[in-house]
């Protein structure tokens, strides 16, 4: 559970069981998630070349090898080699990414395998997705984040947004090696989890 101090810093509480009767990532054998998957019931249509991101807050140091997301609407004719998921640190450095062209052809839970990536307790990271297709796919999101980009990021500087467009970028055919967090653009966000 992250604690935000208002100055761009976070602390953490590691909860291994349920808290207040609610599921936590550890209940699902996950390291972290953007929010409980139970809430990912809406469809967020991706925009070609625009890397959408969701923050995940890491309660204990861990190495991950999986990124999970959900395709809710199939993409049509993905452009070969131009569809990726990945993870960034809060400074805007890409830690890992992988191509996911084939994953846009069917709906459902998707799992991307990445090289082992160390995440540090008390830090936040952005999971990101970029699509390029004749018709980009839709991904699972919470109904409260569709069309409510301002409230879900209220009080946070661009460099610490929970949901947004990484670096304000719009013509990406891959996830760039670095982004400038201060340029993040406000937008709705998708559901992600890591393990």
Which of helix, strand or coil describes residue 179? coil
**Looking at residue 86, what is its pLDDT?**
98
pLDDT tens for each residue of the chain, 195 residues long:
454 445 555 445 455 554 555 678 888 889 999 988 767 677 889 999 999 999 999 999 999 999 999 999 999 999 999 999 999 999 999 999 999 999 999 999 999 999 999 999 999 999 999 999 999 999 998 765 556 667 777 889 999 999 999 999 999 999 999 999 999 998 877 899 999
Report the relative pairing of strands 32-33 and 193-194 from DSSP bridges. antiparallel
pTM of the model: 0.86
Distance, CA of 120 to CA of 108 (rounded, Å): 29
What pLDDT sits at residue 1?
46
Residue 3, pLDDT score: 45
Q: How far apart are CA 153 and CA 145, in angstroms?
A: 10
């Amino acid at each position: 559970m992250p604690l935000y101090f208002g100055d761009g810093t976070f602390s953490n509480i590691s909860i291994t069981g349920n808290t207040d009767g609610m599921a936590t990532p550890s209940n699902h054998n996950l390291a972290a998630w953007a929010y409980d998957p139970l809430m990912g019931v809406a469809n967020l249509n991706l925009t070609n070349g625009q890397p959408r991101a969701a923050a995940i807050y890491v309660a204990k140091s861990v190495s991950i090898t999986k990124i999970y997301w959900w395709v809710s609407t199939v993409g049509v004719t993905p452009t070969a080699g131009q569809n990726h998921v990945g993870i960034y640190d809060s400074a805007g450095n890409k830690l890992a990414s992988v191509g996911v062209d084939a994953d846009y052809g069917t709906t459902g839970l998707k799992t991307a395998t990445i090289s082992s990536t160390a995440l540090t307790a008390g830090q936040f990271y952005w999971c990101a997705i970029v699509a390029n297709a004749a018709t980009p796919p839709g991904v699972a999101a919470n109904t409260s984040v569709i069309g409510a980009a301002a409230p879900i990021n209220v009080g946070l500087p661009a460099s610490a947004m929970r949901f947004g467009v990484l670096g304000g970028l719009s013509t990406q055919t891959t996830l760039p090696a670095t982004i400038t967090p201060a340029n993040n653009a406000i937008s709705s966000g998708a559901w992600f989890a890591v393990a």
